């Protein structure tokens, strides 16, 4: 059970990162659950930081 929950959170983080790299708004987060939404937004913030550091080109 714990593995399934961790996988879900890791997947949400990865999806948030992809959304951030592609330039999507954080307002478009597809999750309502606070834990999963927090992970998605964490991935989105990581992507924004990576873009600002020049690791990814802006579209």
Q: What is the CA radius of gyration of the chain?
A: 12
Beta-carbon contacts of 31 under 8 Å, excluding residues fewer than 6 positions away, are: 12, 37, 40
Provide the CATH topology of domain 1-18+33-59.
Arc Repressor Mutant, subunit A (1.10.10)
pTM here? Answer: 0.82
pLDDT in tens, 4-36: 767 999 999 999 999 999 999 999 999 999 999
Instruction: Report d(CA 54, CA 36) in Å as an integer.
Output: 27
| pLDDT exceeds cutoff 60 at 1 | no
Question: CA angle, 19 as apex, 17 and 21 as ends, to 5°?
Answer: 70
What are the extents of the domains in the chain? 1-18+33-59
Instruction: Report d(CA 38, CA 8) in Å as an integer.
Output: 12
pLDDT classification of 54: cutoffs 50, 70, 90: confident
pLDDT classification of 58: cutoffs 50, 70, 90: low
């Amino acid at each position: 059970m714990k593995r399934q929950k961790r996988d879900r959170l890791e997947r949400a983080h990865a999806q948030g990162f992809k959304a951030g790299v592609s330039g999507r708004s954080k307002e478009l987060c597809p999750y309502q659950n606070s834990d999963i939404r927090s992970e998605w937004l964490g991935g989105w913030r990581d992507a924004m930081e990576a873009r600002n550091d020049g690791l990814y080109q802006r579209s």
